[in-house]
Amino acid sequence: MIKYFTFTICFLVMTTASWGQFGFEQPNTSENPSSWTAKVEKESDSIYSVIISAKIEDTWHLPSQTELKEDENGPTPTEFNFDYDTTQIKKLGMTTEPEGITKFDEIFKTELTYFENEARFSQRFKVLDLEGDLDLEILFMICNDEMCLPQDQKRFNFKIQKGELSVAETKAIEVKSKDKIRTEALKLDLKGKSEFKLNSEEGEDSNFTIFFLGFIGGLIALLTPCVFPMIPLTVSFFTKGARTKKIGLINAIMYGAFIFLIYVLLSLPFHLIDSVNPEILNNISTNPILNIIFFVIFMVFAFSFFGYYEITLPNSWSSKLDQKATSIGGIVGIFFMALTLALVSFSCTGPILGSLLGGSLTADGGATMLSFGMGGFGLALALPFALFALFPNWLNSLPKSGGWLNTVKVVLGFLELGLAFKFLSNADLVEHWGILKREVFVGIWILIGIAMVLYLFGKLRFPHDGPVSKLSKGRVFIGILTLAFVIYLIPGLTNSSSANLKLLSGFPPPLFYSIYEKETEGPLGLKAYKDFDKGLEAAKAQNKPILLDFTGWACVNCRKMEEQVWSVSDVYQTIKNDYILISLYVDDKEKLSDEERFNFKRANGSVKKIRTIGDKWATFQTLNFKNNSQPYYVLLSPNLELLNETIAYEPSSEAYFSWLETGLENYKNKKDKTE
């Protein structure tokens, strides 16, 4: 009974965890709050100083060039890399910097030196030739008291012409008068900023949530045929093969610690990618190509779990590592044993790690969130080896390996199959292909559910399944549970109020993305303007306040808000009757017309090309509200007065309704004062 109970609980938790993986939204990050300029000052006939100045916005600071000690943590020091031909120009000394602020940092728990407001750096050179080039790359981080933005870079080019060093003209994206006009059109003359707070933070602690989900994924991996049989064998090896019981215990604990470390280390390459280009990870959730790649990968994982083939790493890798572990021994040998386990179990852990990778990266949490997830996964795999070494008698309570392990694997395959279509749905939504309308998506899940029921009841078999002479209670129970889930999905195929499927909010496409003819293209049948200017015009004409909804086609929490909070009667009626709803989709990949396209010049001087509807509304949100998370809600009067604090994800319908009511009351008070 223990194994059936464990199997059932893990199945349910894995399903919940799979839903949860797509429940994160991107953390707020602002435009880089610094700007850089460069000039050249002549000291003598051949000696020049390159002067680089950085202006830093209030509340932010720039780390100095001072390298941190090996035992210190902190932001990456500012770095100046000059590239030049030594026959043309000679560098004199080091790059100098002004005297900074040195103080103990509470976050990094060490003394750091940094600059506020402005910093001026200088590097001297001696010109040796009449013609030449000098390139400069600056690598820097900008931090405040709560966080550091990902490392950014700035480049400058200098020319030697007729023996004179000067700043070269850099090719920049041209900002024309049309661009300036369209940029100004995006800016709102917001009133009431001092009265109401612009919320720029989300209340959800995504890192620890995905750590928990990674931990659950690791527990599931323990129940697979590649890992479960290894537990008693490995623990027995350490407890019985060591000279003393204490040494065996220490070795087993170290083995578990190395397993944890290995899985955390697997996430490090993504930190490198994130630092080189932060937008790579932040844009995965809305990138159609990457979502299709994830769809294909998950399909491959699913059929691997079904037993049609195995995804394994080269046997030579594990063999060599096993030989090293045996020959070296000691701490290093134990590390290689842990690495061997990670490799030989890849055919079972790989698909689960793929789910973790897809769930964290498509959540826009980037490499940090992935590290938390991998840490949770590694911890769950490592714990049994330490615990069973501490309490070896527990090994007797473990269920014996058998066909039930393959059943776990196949069930996971069905879950992977369902998750695959979520990625395809993301691509379909942002590109408006119309392939996976809501009812089609739900129908596919129903078919997957039916196939899983048939499998659990022994009517469907896969390559590694033996004949089912008698159904176990566990299979019957989970089969009935899956059948109940399929029955719950069936109303989702209809054009009725029962099609909401609140328990799955955020997973299927929105209700209005339907095969049925809808009166409006807004959530829940609400009238929603998808252009701010048209919505503002309607608000003025009807003399109603505005509910400005920054949302996304691939935004899970946006769907949860619409289907779980907005669907509540009081909230729904208030939005429908008392507000003008403007829903702006920041991930919409539909191209703007040639006339509507423009180049947006940021405050730091860089230029962003506005080419899609999503580009326009994402820039509109960041420019006016200093926020780029979704969902994000703003209450405005037709005169662009803030009527309440802005809010993000709010799962309480009571709190959201109160927020709407407060906005209405403030609107009425403002109207009364002007009349």
Flag whether pLDDT at 363 surpasses 70. Answer: no
What is the pLDDT averaged over residues 413-437? 86
Q: Which of 13, 27, 19 is nearest to 422 (CA)?
A: 19
Flag whether pLDDT at 505 surpasses 80. Answer: no
Q: Does one domain contain both 224 and 284?
A: yes
Q: Does residue 545 fall inside a structural domain?
A: no
Q: Does one domain contain both 322 and 344?
A: yes
Q: Does one domain contain both 231 and 129?
A: no
Q: Does residue 538 fall inside a structural domain?
A: no
Task: State both tokens at 179.
Answer: 């661009």
**Cβ contacts of residue 515 below 8 Å, gap of 6+?**
437, 438, 439, 440
Q: Does residue 60 fall inside a structural domain?
A: yes
Residue 91 binned pLDDT confidence (cut-offs 50, 70, 90): very high
Q: Does one domain contain both 227 and 111?
A: no
What is the pLDDT averaged over residues 605-625? 82
Q: Does one domain contain both 228 and 352?
A: yes
According to the 3-state scheme, what is the secondary structure of 272-339? Answer: HHHHHCCHHHHCHHHCHHHHHHHHHHHHHHHHHHHCCCCCCCCHHHHHHHHHHHHHHCHHHHHHHHHH
Q: Does residue 478 fall inside a structural domain?
A: no
Q: Does one domain contain both 242 and 261?
A: yes
- Min mean pLDDT across 153-157, 352-356, 611-615, 623-627 is at 352-356
Q: Does residue 557 fall inside a structural domain?
A: no
Q: How many domains does the chain divide into?
A: 2
Question: Which one-letter amino acid corresponds to residue 602?
Answer: R
Range of the domain at 87: 34-186
Contact 5, 191 (CB under 8 A): no
Q: Does one domain contain both 13 and 73?
A: no
Angstrom CA distances, 374 to 252, 254, 347, 368, 378, stand at 21, 18, 17, 10, 6
What is the pLDDT averaged over residues 524-549? 93
Residue 658 binned pLDDT confidence (cut-offs 50, 70, 90): very high
Question: Which one-letter amino acid corresponds to residue 164?
Answer: E
Which residue do the tokens 């280009």 mark?
A: 277
What is the pLDDT averaged over residues 638-655? 90
Flag whether pLDDT at 30 surpasses 60. Answer: no
CATH number (domain holding residue 156): 2.60.40.1250
**Cβ contacts of residue 621 below 8 Å, gap of 6+?**
550, 584, 586, 627, 628, 632
Q: Does one domain contain both 255 and 378?
A: yes
Flag whether pLDDT at 529 surpasses 70. Answer: yes
Q: Does one domain contain both 46 and 176?
A: yes
Q: Does one domain contain both 159 and 16?
A: no
What percent of the chain has a predicted confidence (pLDDT) above 70?
A: 74
Using the 3D structure, point to which of 401, 429, 447 is the last residue of a domain.
Answer: 401
Contact 401, 229 (CB under 8 A): yes
Which residue do the tokens 């006339």 mark?
A: 595
**Cβ contacts of residue 90 below 8 Å, gap of 6+?**
125, 126, 128
Residue 321 binned pLDDT confidence (cut-offs 50, 70, 90): very low
Q: Does residue 453 fall inside a structural domain?
A: no
Contact 263, 378 (CB under 8 A): yes
Q: Does one domain contain both 372 and 301?
A: yes
For the chain, percent helix, then strand, then coil, each to nearest 5? 50, 15, 35
What is the pLDDT averaged over residues 162-190? 78
Residue 656 binned pLDDT confidence (cut-offs 50, 70, 90): very high
Q: What is the pLDDT of residue 155?
A: 79
User: CA angle, 36 as apex, 35 and 38 as ends, to 5°?
Assistant: 155
pTM: 0.52
Using the 3D structure, point to which of 352, 386, 401 is the last residue of a domain.
Answer: 401
pLDDT tens digits, 65-86: 988 776 666 677 898 989 888 8
Using the 3D structure, point to which of 401, 432, 456 is the last residue of a domain.
Answer: 401
Residue 204 binned pLDDT confidence (cut-offs 50, 70, 90): very low
Flag whether pLDDT at 258 surpasses 80. Answer: yes
Residue 402 binned pLDDT confidence (cut-offs 50, 70, 90): low
Q: What is the pLDDT of residue 461?
A: 87
Q: Does residue 461 fall inside a structural domain?
A: no
Q: Does residue 193 fall inside a structural domain?
A: no
3-state secondary structure of 601: strand
Q: What is the pLDDT of residue 643?
A: 92
Q: What is the pLDDT of residue 200?
A: 45
What percent of the chain has a predicted confidence (pLDDT) above 90?
A: 25
Other beta carbons less than 10 A from residue 405's beta carbon: 21
Residue 278 binned pLDDT confidence (cut-offs 50, 70, 90): very low
Residue 415 binned pLDDT confidence (cut-offs 50, 70, 90): confident
Burial environment of residue 349 by CB neighbours within 10 A (0 to 12, 13 to 18, 19 or more): buried
Contact 191, 641 (CB under 8 A): yes
Question: Which one-letter amino acid corresponds to residue 80?
Answer: F
At residue 201, what are phi and psi to the nearest 5 degrees? -130, 150
Torsion 651-652-655-659 (CA) sign: positive
User: DSSP for 143-195?
Assistant: B-SS-BPPPEEEEEEEEEETTEEEEPPP------HHHHHHHHHH----B-TTT
At residue 452, what are phi and psi to the nearest 5 degrees? -70, -40
Contact 511, 523 (CB under 8 A): yes
DSSP H or E stretch at residue 551: strand 546-551
**Cβ contacts of residue 371 below 8 Å, gap of 6+?**
264, 267, 268, 270, 271
Q: Does one domain contain both 170 and 224?
A: no
pLDDT tens digits, 452-494: 999 999 889 888 777 777 888 888 999 999 999 999 999 999 9
Q: What is the pLDDT of residue 89?
A: 93
**Cβ contacts of residue 490 below 8 Å, gap of 6+?**
446
Q: What is the pLDDT of residue 332?
A: 73
What CA–CA distance (Å, rounded) separates 83 from 155? 11
Q: What is the pLDDT of residue 398?
A: 64
What is the pLDDT averaged over residues 658-674? 87
DSSP H or E stretch at residue 341: helix 330-344
**Average pLDDT of every residue of the chain:** 78
| Alpha carbon of residue 15 to chain centroid | 20
Q: What is the pLDDT of residue 197?
A: 61
